[in-house]
Structures are given as C-alpha cells and as structure tokens.
Structure 1
Amino acid sequence: MKRIFVFLFSLACIASAEAQLRLPSLFDDHMILQQQSPVPIWGWSHPSQDIVIHVSWDTTTIKTKSDNTTYWSTTLYTPPAGGPYTITIKNSWGEQRILQDVMIGEVWLCSGQSNMEWSMEAAGDGKLAMAQANDPTIRLFHVSKSAASFRQVHGEGTWKVCTPESVKYFSAVSYFFAKKLQQNLNVPIGLINTSWGGTPAETWVPEARIAADAALLAAAEKQGDDRPWCPSRPGVVFNAMINPIVPFRIAGTLWYQGESNTSAPDTYKQLMETLITAWRKEFLNDFPFYYVQIAPYTDYGMDGGVLIREQQIKMLEIPKTGVVVISDLVNNVKDIHPQFKKPVGERLANLALSDTYGKTGIPSKSPLYKSMKVEKGKIRITFDNAPNGLMSKGGEPTEFQIAGEDKKFYAAKAKIEGNTVIVSAKEVKNPVAVRFAWSNASIPNLFSKEGLPVPSFRTDN
C-alpha cells in the first residue's frame, strides 16, 4: 500500500511539473521578433531551476535560472529579418517548449481607442482588402480587452498568420500600416494590437504616474467611471493590456486616441508625454511614437475637439514623435469613426518609412504653422513642411479667421504665396491674430503640394 501511495504521489508531482515551464501568451508559435536587436524573453518554471534556450538561427546556448518566485528572464540576440526559425526552451526537470514558425522582422505596437480598434470587417475599405489578405509574412497578435487594479503578467492573445479569416476582426489601421511597410521593406511585420474603444488615455498610463501629478489627477477625476462599455480609472488598462507584454522588443508604437479626452483637453499633451515616457521606460526602449490626430466631429462639447487637436500638434515637442493629420479623410462629421482606414494606415506607414527607416522621397509630414507677420493690414502666415509650396482644393483656401485688438474674429480671405498664406478681412484694419479651421468639425481645403492637409491652428492663445 505504501508503494502504491509513493507511486501515485510521484505521478502527481510529474503531472504538476508538466505545467511549470510557462511563457507569457506573447511567446508562441508564429510570433515575430524584432530583427537585429536584444530581445527580452521571460517566463516561469520551478523555483531555482536552470533554463536553457536554443535558437535555430544561432549555435549559441543561452542559459539563465529561475528565482525563488519561479520567474526567469534572459535576452535573445536576433539576426537580420528572415525565418522561419524555432526556439527551444528547457528546464533542468526535462520540461520543454518548442516555439515553431518564428519569424524575424519589424514589430509594431498598435494602441488607442475605437478608431484603432475598428476592424477590417467594419471599415468602409476593409472588406475588399480583407478578401485578398493572404500575407504569411504579416503576423497578428490581438490583446483581449481586460482591466485590472493591479499589474498582470501572463496576458491573453495568440499570434496568427495573416489570412482573410484572421484579419477579419483585426485593427484595419494596423493592417494597412503593416501592408505598406511590408511592401516597402520586404521583411516580416508583426503587429500587436492592444486597443479598447472609449478608453481615455489615463487608463493606459501607470496609475502612480497620474497620482503623482496634481494637474493630471484633476483631469482624470473629470472622467468619472460610469461608462458601460469601458473603464476610465487611471492605470487599469495598462495593468492588464500593456504590462503583460513589457519589455517585449518593438520597433515603435502607433496610437489613435484622444476622442475620450475632449472633456479636459488642456492637459492632454502633458498626459501623453507621461504615457510615452512611462512606456519607453517599461519597454526598455526609446522607440518612436507615431499617432493620428483626431478627426473633425460635430458632437464634442464646446471646443474640446479642436483643443485636443492643438494639443496633439504640441506633442511633436516630445522627442521621436510624429503626427498624421486626417481632416480630409472624413465622410461624415456626425460620425466619430471615419469609415476609411486605409489612407490613415498608409500615412502612418509613410511616417515610419521616412523617419524610422530612412526612406527618402516619401511625403510624410503635414505643413505646420510656423510664424506670422503683419503686412499693411494683412497677416502673412508661414509654414514648415511645405518645401514645394501649398495648394487649396476646390477654390480659394477656406476656414481662415482674422481678428484685431478687440479679439473679434471675422471670416477672412486667404491667398497662397509659395509656402505662405496672406490673410485679410475688410472688417479688420489692424489685424493681430489668425485662426484656421478653429472648430470641432472644420474640414479645411489647404494642403501641401504633396497632398497632406494643414491642421487647425491659432496664432493667439
């Protein structure tokens, strides 16, 4: 009887042992690792166990050891883009995990709220592209919606090869970004989509970062937490949808959010700088952060929409950031979700190709207000990012206003001269300030010669 008990106890120990060598959900078959980089890898095993890793692209043996909490971590050094490869992980109990069909390429994190989450199935230009989306070198990892009061570690999600079926409910903006990147770089592209419609930016920032800043905390308190479709408390989405994937190596981040922060726009640039700084620290990587300026929409309160757009231009002061302006891509200003996502994704790709990958001859930056000068009852506005000049579509430039010392703004006539615009109004003899597209739903017609729209701005404060 004693021998039977010992035998059964041994079987129970073996069964328990089989479940001990574990990896975060991010490390799985079909994954893509960032090329030519130190790539952190981590997991759990028995306490104080030797961990040995073999990768098929190299003959080096990587060794580490789990601590007394069962956690282990080490670093893989990846080759230039290619694959497929395998990664074999063993512990000293003989347990083993083999990751198959691992590709090496460029990995981008895609985050934000509903316009980033918007799927290929839902997008106005997604279904046709979806039917043709057999792209074995594009891999998709979708992080399930989740929130938590404390940091989570394992996470949820599965890597999938891009097919019409797997991309159907995946982020359309992300896919179109990846498709253009893959066509231009000819390397595998990995996308990690972690987005949640309606979430304010505070939910994506570590809670301690918000609590430590009085202005950010006051703005966060305006959010409340009564939305039935998503949480609004600081840090709770970061805990469950970002923390489980840090410090995975990424090439950069795409961000499409801001609609849910229009109730407290004045601190948005500060909030996003806090988010970007925190994420770069968590990912151990000073990665580029490219984002989409929110689109014209009628139903923001007061000037919330245009003020957020102003803050999103100010975010360019943060190192290694870039903005995509989409004021011309709106088919219905009463819909907070512009239907066509392909041009948004492709503009993001152009920004990455130009700024991250050093490709030349790709127009990627919208003209931005630089300075103003009063000239005999008129104001001349000068723009950056317009080396070949400006143009207007459908007639003279629209959406300009001009004011004198009385601060009353009048509709203005505008004339393009090179990379400048001369603005005037008969009601204003001695102008001091200009505003352009200064309302939540403005769709102006001023562009660079390359076809990129000029975002809203004001010369006063």
Structure 2
Amino acid sequence: MAASWLLLLVSAWTAGAELRLASYYADHMVLQKEPSQAVIWGYGDFGATVMVTVSNDQIVVKKMAEIQGGSEMWRAVLSPMSQGGPYKIEIQQYHREEVTNVTLNDVYFGDVWLCSGQSNMEMTVSQIYNASLELADASRYPLVRVFAAALVQSEVELQDLAEISLQWSIPTAENLGHGDFSYFSAVCWLFGRYLFEKLKYPIGLIDSSWGGTPIEAWSSKSALHECKISEYAESTPASYLNAGPKTYSVLWNAMIHPLLNMTLQGVIWYQGEANTLRNTDLYNCTFPALIKDWRKAFHEGSDGQTQEDFPFGFVQLSTNRRVETDDHFPRIRWHQTADYGYAPNKEMPNTFMAVTIDLGDDNSPYGSIHPRDKQNVAYRLHLGALAVAYHDKSVVFQGPYPKKVEVDSEHASLHVTYQEEVVLRRSDNKTFEVCCSEQPMCKWSPVSIVSSSSSSVVLHNPACPAAVSGLRYAWIEWPCEYKLCPLYNLQALPAPPFITFSEGNPGWIVS
C-alpha cells in the first residue's frame, strides 16, 4: 500500500493544544479533487511535528508541507488527487517522544460545493414535493456526501465552526429529512445529486444556511464597506421574511469564515427575501460585493487552492404574494443580476442563475414564500453549473433574453426579438408593460401579446403607440402561474424578468 507523507512543523504561542482536526474533517467526507489541492488543517502542541498520510491502493507522490509559524495551527496542502476513493488519512503528531494520532476513514476525492442563504436554501427534503420518494431514493447516492453547519452567530470572526448540525454523512432518509428548516437542504442535496448523475464521481455538499437572514449578515465588514454600509440597519418589522439574525457580519463570522481554509469547487446561494424589507436598492452592490469578497477570502484561506474566480450560482427569487402595487420582489430580482437581467455579466463573471418566477406555490404549508418544487430549482442550477463551472458548451442554462425592441407607432405595436428561439406557452395582456411617460416617473400600462415567431413576440400597444419609452416583463411579485409564464426557450427554461428603456439604448428601434 503506497502513501503520501506530508510533514508539518507546528508552532504555538502556548503549549497544551492536543492534536485535533478542524471540526469539519471527519469520516465519510469529500475533499476537493485535482487540479486543485485539498487542504487539511487542525491544532497541535507547540513545537511538535505533524505527519499526514493519505493512503489507498494507488501510488501518491510524497510532498513536504510548509511550516506554519506563530500559532497552534498546522496545515497540510495535499498533492493533487484524482477523483475516487475510499482513502484513509492518518495524522500523527510527534512531540517530546510521544506519538498521538487521528485517523479519517472512507474519505473520497471529488468536487466540494458550499450551499448558503436563507430559508429556501434551508428547507429540507422532507418539505418538498414527492418527499417520500426523494427520501427513499437517498441510499442510491452513497457518493454524494452531506455536511451541515449549525445555526450560530458571532460578533467576531471564528477560526473554526462552533457547532455542527450534521457531521459528514452518507445520505439517508433520516439525515436528509431531519426536520422542517433543519438539515439537510433540499436544494443543496438535489443540486449535488443532479451533478453526480452527470459527472459520475463523488460530490461533497456543505450546507450553511439560516432562514430569514439578510445579505448583510452573511457579508464581511470589508464587503459591506465596499457598498458604503458601515452602520447597523434600522429595525425592521418581524416577519417570516426577516426572522433570523440581522446584525451585520454575524453569520459571515460564525458560519462562513471558519470554512475558508478548505478547498471548494464552487458555491450556490438562495437568498434575498429578507432584503425586500431592508436595503433593497443596495442589493445590486451588496450581492456582487459578497461574491467578490467570498472568492478572495476562500482563495487566500486555502493557500490559493480554491480558485480566485470560483463559480458562484444563485437562485433568482420566486414569488410570495399576489399583489401588484409592491415592487420590492421585482426590484430584488433585477438587483440580483447587478441590474443586467442575466448572469454571468460584466459585474458578476463566472456566475449562473436559476430563474424561478414560474414556481409559485399558493398551497405550500410553509407559506407561499416557500415553494415546494425544489427539484426544478436545483435542476436549473445544475444546468448553470455544467455550463459555467464544468465548461459544457452543449448545455443551455438560461432562458431567452431580449436583444432588440422595435416600436411600430403606425400599427401601435412592439416587436421584441430574443437571442434564441422562444416558445410562447400562453398569451396574456398583463405580463408585458410599457412606460408611457419619461423615466424615472414611469406610468406603466399593460400590453397584450398578440403573436410570436421563432425568436420574437409582437405586443399590441394602444396605451401610447407613439410615446413608449420603456418596456418591462414579469415585473410584479407573482407574475405567472405554475410553469405557465408566457415565454420559455426550447429547453423549458423561463425568460427572466427585465426592464429596459429607449433612451440611450442601441437595442431600441423606433419607426
């Protein structure tokens, strides 16, 4: 049996730190495969030598680890490892003629994804459609391993997780459906399962989410500073949208910062509902700033092994109430894209978005803010991951987005041309709206879809045929019924909401 030996001298300010691993290293875990190098770290006695051995039936190159001085921490950057396993990892500490050791068993190398956000990420498999079938299916995926951080907040950045809800585990019905809004995240699980079905190698999933939390709680102070946010936000009325910790950076400190030293493949994110109640129009800054900050922090924390532009997927918000006068949800959806309407874009490179405006669920026992169709959410996310993270150019992962608006004032119509072929699932007289006055004080009026061709739709605009200055789509909180938005592409992906104005826009043609 061959082995790789990584030697590490351990220094500390004080003696007495026994050999132990960071909290999230355990049997059954998945470590990041090549071309990145996995990082293992922990604590030891001052002046000790630590040796890490990774072994199975294959030859592994020997390598020396760097010396970690000035603290009790030791860290080993492993050689690049190909997918597969199981491996045994043995950590031995040599100190004052004593040898202590810790062993990890059943460790695999594959891709590690972090899943974070608020309650729609937190919802467990037992809460979604076809839960019984999904839970019974869990045992078919023993190489999709799961881990869940506990709900902890902190005023200071923690070095390690204070608590764990679910230590690394082989999936079972029990640990995927432990309890409502507990471990394990349905979106995270299904996303990983879909990836495994395509990639055919181990997937490690880390769930670190907390319901009712604003983005500011998940952001470091430096990220918030980028958006000129330095003071605590004003208090907000308590509701299921804003029920979790609201204090800035407390979840970054306790539930993200401790994970920075491990190597990741990417992140998926489902959050934003709480920010329909606070700092709504700062989200086009706070969200891109969080992505940039997490990328920088994970890259540095892993000794450069987590890629500095790692893929970041997110869910554009679904629905909540059937109201037309409150535009907080449409504005957050738009700001989730840094006001581009799609992802990736210039402000958010190497990102991907799952549009979910057509997955509203009036009858959800957890409130309509928590739609139960998490299968489609995760499926759309995994398409984005395949295209962006795994560079599969054959995968279409975005719904149709307009590239040209032609105003035909003579016939009181607008022709909207898309970048790809569109499928008109239904015509209506409300999903599209025109601006009949100068922005930003638009008077919006609904217009009817009258026809469509392979890549365009024609709208009837009697409201202001000669004076239309703007157009928007699906700009209400609940824009369409379940899987019945007007426009999709050939892959059944819904067109995302958008808003556009004629002034200064080369995509507008007025005749």
TM-score scaled to structure 1, two decimals?
0.89
**Alignment correspondent of 1:107:** 112
Judged with a 3 Å threshold, the aligned counterparts in structure 2 of structure 1 residues 98 and 351 are, in CA distance, closer, same or farther, namely same
CA contact (8 A) 1:48 1:66 kept: no
Separation in 1, partners of 2:379, 2:64: 39
> Aligned letter for 2:357?
S
**Alignment correspondent of 1:129:** 134
**Alignment correspondent of 2:387:** 354
The CA deviation at 1:369 is: 3.1
Look up the SS of the partner of 1:324 in the other structure: strand
Unpaired runs of 5+ residues, structure 2, are 1-14, 179-183, 300-306, 504-511
Given candidates 249, 255, 259, the residue that maps to 1:241 is 255
**Alignment correspondent of 1:39:** 38
> Aligned letter for 1:267?
L
> Aligned letter for 1:418?
S
Separation in 1, partners of 2:145, 2:297: 23
**How is 1:400-411 mapped onto 2 (pairs within 5 angstroms)?**
400-405=432-437, 407-411=442-446
**Alignment correspondent of 1:252:** 266
Aligned length: 440
TM-score scaled to structure 2, two decimals?
0.81
Cα deviations by residue, 1:235-256 (Å, 9 ceiling, x for unpaired): 1001110111112111110000
> Aligned letter for 2:382?
A
CA contact (8 A) 1:51 1:90 kept: yes
**Alignment correspondent of 1:326:** 356
The CA deviation at 1:319 is: 0.8
**How is 1:122-271 mapped onto 2 (pairs within 5 angstroms)?**
122-134=127-139, 135-155=141-161, 156-157=163-164, 158-169=167-178, 170-211=184-225, 213-214=227-228, 216-217=229-230, 221-222=233-234, 229-263=243-277, 264-271=279-286
CA contact (8 A) 2:227 2:285 kept: no
The farther-off stretch of 220-229 and 111-120 is 220-229
Separation in 2, partners of 1:210, 1:250: 23
Separation in 2, partners of 1:201, 1:404: 35
Cα deviations by residue, 1:247-305 (Å, 9 ceiling, x for unpaired): 21111100001000113321112101111111111110321101000012217883110
**Alignment correspondent of 2:422:** 390
Q: Percent identity?
A: 30
Judged with a 3 Å threshold, the aligned counterparts in structure 2 of structure 1 residues 432 and 209 are, in CA distance, closer, same or farther, namely closer
**Alignment correspondent of 1:7:** none
The farther-off stretch of 24-33 and 310-319 is 310-319
**How is 1:366-445 mapped onto 2 (pairs within 5 angstroms)?**
366-376=399-409, 377-384=412-419, 386=420, 389-395=421-427, 399-405=431-437, 407-414=442-449, 415-430=451-466, 431-443=468-480, 444-445=485-486
**Alignment correspondent of 1:456:** 497
Larger helix proportion of the pair: 1
Look up the SS of the partner of 1:270 in the other structure: helix
Separation in 2, partners of 1:280, 1:105: 20
Unpaired runs of 5+ residues, structure 1, are 1-15
CA contact (8 A) 2:436 2:463 kept: no
Separation in 2, partners of 1:203, 1:59: 42
RMSD: 2.3
Separation in 2, partners of 1:62, 1:237: 35
The CA deviation at 1:114 is: 0.3
